[in-house]
A and B are shown apart, each in its own frame.
Chain A
Amino acid sequence: MSRIQLNVNGNIHSADADNDTTLLSVLRDQLDLTGTKYGCGEGQCGACTVLIDGKSQRSCVTRAGTVVGRQITTIEGLAKGDRLHPMQQAFLDEQAMQCAYCTPGMIMSAVSLLNKKPNPSVTEIADFMEGNVCRCGTHPRIVAAIQRAAKAVKEAGL
């Protein structure tokens, strides 16, 4: 077991990790950032998605030791104070959730998509989001939310 330093949501945190400690368990159990969810533990559902230097990554299959010195963003770090990130707002506006357990992972993946492709088509959205499971079946609303957020980001010149 060794002590590592992680940059999460702009703050430096120390955590205990050995070789097989996942980023997901550090976030949830040590840093109490429980917005990042467990859904499968094998990179198949996207519930645990976080951003590493702005790119989506599945934290359940990411060893904590491999992201030292990188910028880690979780769902808790997305809003600026009281102001929601346009993607969070879009999910609310489209009511793109039922139980919402998939929502944090969906939002993080979607933010990553817009970082890469500011104006994705419906097919590009579906392709990119394929690894995120919503068991409640809110997919059409999630697609609409991502399109809405893309528009909002463009209009706000963000």
Chain B
Amino acid sequence: MSANEKLQSLVEPERYELNRAPSYSFELDRREFFKLLGAGVLVVSVLKDAHAFQESGAGRPRMEPLPKEIGVWLHIGENDLVTVYTGKVEVGQNIRSSLTQAVAEELKVPIEKIQLVMGDTKLTPFDMGTFGSRTTPTMNLQLRKVSAAARDLLIGLAAKHWQVDRQRLVASEGKITDSQSQHSIEYAALVKGQQLTETIPEVDPLVPATEWTVQGKSLPKVDGRDFVTGKHRYPYDQKLPDMLHGKILRPPSFGATLAALDTKAAEKIPGVVVVHDGNFVGVAAPSGEVASRALAAIKAEWKSDPQISNQELFEYLKKNEIGGEDPTGYPRQHEQGSVEKALSSADHRIEQSYTVNYIAHVPLEPRAALAQWSGDEVTVWTGTQRPFGVRKELAEAFRLSEGKVRVLMPDTGSAYGGKHTGETAMEAARLARAAKLPVKVTWTREEEFAWAYFRPAGVIDITGGLAKDGTIVAWDFHNYNSGAAGIQTFYDIPNQRILFHPTRSPLRQGSYRGLAATANHFARECFMDELAHSVNMGPLEFRLKNLKNDRLRAVFEAAAKKFGWGQKKPAGRGFGIGGGFEKGGNVATSVEVSVDRTTGEVRILRVVTAFECGAVVNPDNLHNQIEGANIMGLGGALFEAIQFQNGRILNGRLSEYRVPRFSDVPVIESVILDRKDLPSAGAGETPMLGLAPAIGNAIFDASGVRLRTLPLVPGGLKIS
């Protein structure tokens, strides 16, 4: 593994919500599979280098490789079905479809014959979690490898069956055909009656991207019909006989502790179970209405300490740096050349500060979990990007071995990095244990706003030095709190000092689509514009002058071309561009805005994003992700911000927290650069990065007003 890959596989420090190391133990009972699936061939792949295949998250990053690990298994049944087991989960990024394509490509079976079992801690191999845009570069590759190995195995079985040389045999359409005799045999027939387990090493080579027949083409959501008919059951929709509905008593402010409690009135309501365990107070009742009534009948007094408000946020972050060594061990400092010297001899020197507010994920499906105990074993259905992480949380909380906890993740109503934790799983399991019946806890929107976690707020200070001809000679970049993802500059600057300063955070914070790459790109790409203007250069020209990386240049040029960067524009219109590199993807976004000079009203008219993430697996889904990332990004760029005071969220509901809606959506075009010569990278996060700075830069271009805070125009799409 190169040093760079090693760096990428470390957990980013701003994944604050993941504070524990995962457990890597896994017991596989093969007999159970055959019981469950019937006869066939089970192919298990052992990872050559497990480290390279783990997500970059969960707990302490480590430089040493993880233990040898089983990555994936796949069952070819005599029932003509291929069942693939992966710990990854589906939250709308459509990996159920793209991973199916990977299997179809290498195993040579029709799409309809493949089913994926995802994110079930009992049935699927350990996986650290679905985040960091790692599914495509890791799991996709791994599935291709295990599928290719399975195909080889089937060819071997057929060769034995016919007693012929395996070189004559070809796999396609779920069959092996003898190219000489033209005999063919279905996979199902080949594995009939077998209970064969093959543990295979990874095999290469795989089908090269230039010869793909299934990957590289658009495949619709494989189970789309279940979604348009309302048949699919999300975590919120799970149900069991005799199930109770649980609700939790929330403190009036963050960190408050219980001073007095009276639950007598609630306990008198028929069918109600009340649980009081430390600071946890919850009820379970036969219906949600009765549970709400019981909760309202509880009298509680809380003690809390005064806390800061969003008015003082940025000052607070700058004053509350956590000193000493970074506990995560992540390299948060990068230095080359001498920034001081270069700054003092530079022709121009500029200093600026940018700020980013806390924002909420607002997954349309709030957190939900259904828990059921049987003896001392518990099963929980919940929407989480880390089923194995939640299993560990539950095992620890209830002092069980992990083998006694099963977590299943039904395809979930989105997450965006916001569902890495297991709050509802824990709450439902605690109530269910007391009630001795299954309990479902479904958070309200207000609970999701208040008791999940936020994208970190941050302050970014940058000082840059320029030579007269527009060459950047010095770069001093300090990020307070928001995080280190995407903090490195990709411009060629001889003298740089780049530092991440972790600070205390007044609110609970954690991962969000793109992590701090959004904040770092916003600050860096706006500052690039400010530098360009200081030497009277065009923003695109200035970037290209300071940028050698071919892949990045290509996306900047592609976005500019499609957008018509140089063209004339009417008064009150502005163009802006921003881009960057993160998680294997390269992005550049150009935006056109209009600013009404008298009212200050801002409108986003047009967005063009050029994106390159290696060989494209599913083009239509990639377009869908690019559009979606931009639209979600509009919220954080323009108006989303959490307001808080004294440990309370002030705008924690949809009527008060504005998210992008139909009328906010501009024309969005995406240009995909398909690099079949490069490995495929993920695309759920990086396409978002160029938007916010492009909008900020376009507003400046239109109005001369430079906005340096995200969101840019929180006061009703207006510059003041």
Interface set of A (CB-CB < 8 Å, partner B): 18, 20-21, 25, 28-29, 32-42, 44-45, 47, 74-76, 78-79, 84, 88-89, 91-92, 95, 97-104, 107, 125-127, 129-143
Contacts and interface: CB of A to CB of B under 8 A. Distances in A.
Contacts of B621: 95
B364 A34 contact: no
B165 interface: no
Contacts of B233: 34
Contacts of B365: 37, 39, 99, 101
Contact of B668 (A32, A104, A140): A140
A58 to B, nearest CB: 12
Interface string B304-330: 000000000000000000000000000
A76 B233 CA distance: 13
Given A98-B94, A138-B624, A107 B364 contact: no
Interface in B276-296: 287-289
B230 interface: yes
B102 interface: no
Given A38-B442, A44-B654, A44-B655, A99 B91 contact: yes
A142 B412 CA distance: 20
A125 B621 CA distance: 24
A125 B662 CA distance: 9
A40 B628 contact: no
Interface string B223-266: 01101111111101101000001000000000000000000000
Q: Which of A78, A100, A104, A130 has the most CB of B within 10 A?
A: A100
Given A40-B445, A99-B413, A100-B221, A133 B228 contact: no
Contacts of B362: 135
B632 interface: yes
A141 B620 CA distance: 11
The 8 A-B residue pairs with the shortest CB-CB distance in the complex, in nearest-first order: A35-B230, A99-B92, A137-B631, A101-B413, A75-B230, A137-B628, A34-B237, A100-B227
Instruction: For chain B, give the interface size range.
Output: 35 or more
A38 B234 CA distance: 11
A149 B319 CA distance: 56
Q: Which of B236, B444, B625 has the most CB of A within 10 A?
A: B236
Contacts of B444: 41
B220 interface: yes
Nearest to A145: B228
Contacts of A95: 220-221, 224, 620-621, 624
Given A75-B230, A76-B230, A139-B665, 20 more contacts: A29-B287, A34-B234, A34-B236, A34-B237, A38-B366, A39-B364, A39-B445, A40-B653, A42-B654, A44-B654, A84-B228, A92-B224, A98-B93, A98-B414, A99-B412, A100-B227, A129-B662, A130-B661, A135-B363, A142-B662
A141 B624 contact: yes
A101 B364 contact: yes
Nearest to B97: A95
B227 A97 contact: yes
